[in-house]
Chains A and B, each alone.
Chain A
Amino acid sequence: GAGVSQTPSNKVTEKGKYVELRCDPISGHTALYWYRQSLGQGPEFLIYFQGTGAADDSGLPNDRFFAVRPEGSVSTLKIQRTERGDSAVYLCASRLGPSGEQYFGPGTRLTVT
């Protein structure tokens, strides 16, 4: 079946602009995670959704970052007033049940110029 999909695959934006990154999880997966991966590093947790609610947003670096999942499926990560330090690959993952492996999407490479 279809895996986790993310759009766009690449996004180049100017400093100060607003961007939205989309994640479409595996059908039926209730848990959805966003991670950020900087060059040469492992992914770092940003936010976790169980259903429609953000159960844990402790990884969001500041209030410029926000994410939603209004219908419990697709999620959008929103970044306001982008900074060059936001440049990274943003990964989305979903999981079927309360434990076990997470399945990752291909990521969105964000470049802030």
Chain B
Amino acid sequence: AQKITQTQPGMFVQEKEAVTLDCTYDTSDPSYGLFWYKQPSSGEMIFLIYQGSYDQQNATEGRYSLNFQKARKSANLVISASQLGDSAMYFCAMSVPLTGANSKLTFGKGITLSVRP
């Protein structure tokens, strides 16, 4: 069975500073994908970034980067230059296998990020 663990109950960051949101995962399958989604108070799930288990380099998308440490089974999200609009719930998710008939997502419980002006 796959499991995603997000233990930080809530995070605060000053505007324009960087913040790291933690995520650890557990799977015995060598083929998997890791995702981060943002869920503002309005409720929609917004895709941020993706990392495949075979990718050699850490994924980056604008101000988002994924610190992928395979041996530690961690996939932390780093947000640089935080903005007020980054205040939201952030979910880490995993799909196993990476490709194929059913790559359903298993989500963590989420982390609340609050950006202070």
Contact = CB atoms under 8 A, between A and B. Distances in A.
Interface of A: 33, 35, 40-45, 48, 50, 55-56, 59, 89, 91, 93, 95, 98-107, 109
B107 A44 contact: yes
Interface of B: 4, 33, 35, 37, 42-47, 50, 52, 91, 93, 95, 98-110
B102 A56 contact: yes
A45 B101 CA distance: 15
Nearest to A105: B44
A96 B94 CA distance: 17
Contacts of B108: 42
A101 B107 contact: no
A50 B101 contact: yes
A8 to B, nearest CB: 14
Given A48-B102, A48-B104, A99-B33, A107 B43 contact: yes
Given A42-B109, A45-B104, 19 more contacts: A33-B105, A40-B109, A42-B4, A42-B91, A43-B45, A43-B105, A48-B102, A50-B101, A55-B101, A93-B45, A95-B103, A98-B100, A98-B101, A98-B103, A99-B99, A101-B35, A104-B37, A104-B47, A107-B43
A10 B98 CA distance: 33
Contacts of B46: 104
Given A43-B45, A106-B44, A107-B44, A99 B104 contact: no
A100 B50 contact: yes
A89 B103 contact: no
A64 to B, nearest CB: 21
21 contacts: A35-B105, A42-B4, A42-B93, A42-B108, A42-B110, A45-B105, A48-B104, A55-B101, A56-B104, A59-B104, A91-B45, A93-B105, A95-B103, A98-B99, A98-B103, A99-B95, A99-B98, A99-B99, A99-B100, A103-B47, A106-B42
